[in-house]
Structure 1
Amino acid sequence: MISATFQHLDIPTLDGWLADQRAMTLVDIRDPASYAMGHLPGCRHLDNESVPTLLEQASRELPLVVVCYHGNSSQQAAAWLAGQGFKEVYSLDGGFTEWQNRYPDRVER
């Protein structure tokens, strides 16, 4: 059996994808209060309650980018989501913290 894997994505690459308006699904797995205080443009919050909706509605063919605080917990979530049939799954290296440091004017609230 082949195990599903994810890839690492750096912040400049994601910035380019967003600038090019590349079709993708962005999910943020941080706690709800942190997400509400700021998140990447177009990102949706993902927690245990919203996972079934994501699995039901999100295209398995589009890239799926998982964001956490620093790029650590997103790796486990990305591996799990890859195992759910998403073809192209990424964990954002540096997470939201690094995104906010580099692009403070590109944070949605």
Structure 2
Amino acid sequence: MAFELDGIEQVEETELAALLNEKGDETIVVDVREPEEYEAGHIPGLPLLPMSSIPAVVAEMDKEKSYIFVCRSGSRSQNVALYLKDQGFRDVKNYAGGMLEWTGEVTSGLEWFVKDVHELYKK
């Protein structure tokens, strides 16, 4: 069951896994860790958009979309969600456990590094 922290909905592992299995395009799940962390192990199919690059692309992001952010522990992704909420995004969520809590499938390598934020919307 999701809960809220500082006005941001916290998604738990079972909810994230179910959402990823649906393969719908309503919610965009984004890994916000650094490239070396992502390469070491990430949830298959998730795009990498490092936290540090978000301020440079926020103006190009679609405020009408739903987002869930993932990091190592849930702290950086929470900060990204808070930042975007402050920028006028209405539907931003945090994966509370981060990769430390993820027990599902993990893959390594640089699968999908977002070079153009519009890639996020072309599933």
The question of a shared fold, defined as TM-score above 0.5 by the shorter chain, is answered with yes
* 47, 52, 57: which one aligns with 2:56: 52
Aligned partners of 1:25 and 1:64 also within 8 Å: yes
TM-score computed with the length of structure 1 as normaliser: 0.77
RMSD: 2.1
Shift of the alpha carbon at 1:50? 4.7
The aligned residue for residue 121 of structure 2 is none
TM-score computed with the length of structure 2 as normaliser: 0.69
Q: Kindly provide the CA deviation profile for residues 14-68 of structure 1, in whole angstroms up to 9, marking residues without a partner as x.
A: 1111111132222222222111222222232223235422x23332122111111
Give the number of aligned pairs: 102
1:81 to 2:48 alignment: no
Which stretch of the first structure deviates more once superposed, 71-80 or 90-99? 71-80
1:7 to 2:9 alignment: yes
**Identity of aligned pairs, percent?**
25
Measured in 1, the distance between the counterparts of 2:78 and 2:51 equals 15
User: Which consecutive residues of structure 2, in runs of 5 or more, have no partner in the other structure?
Assistant: 1-5, 110-123
Q: Structure 1: which 4+ aligned runs deviate by more than 6 Å? A: none
User: Which consecutive residues of structure 1, in runs of 5 or more, have no partner in the other structure?
Assistant: none
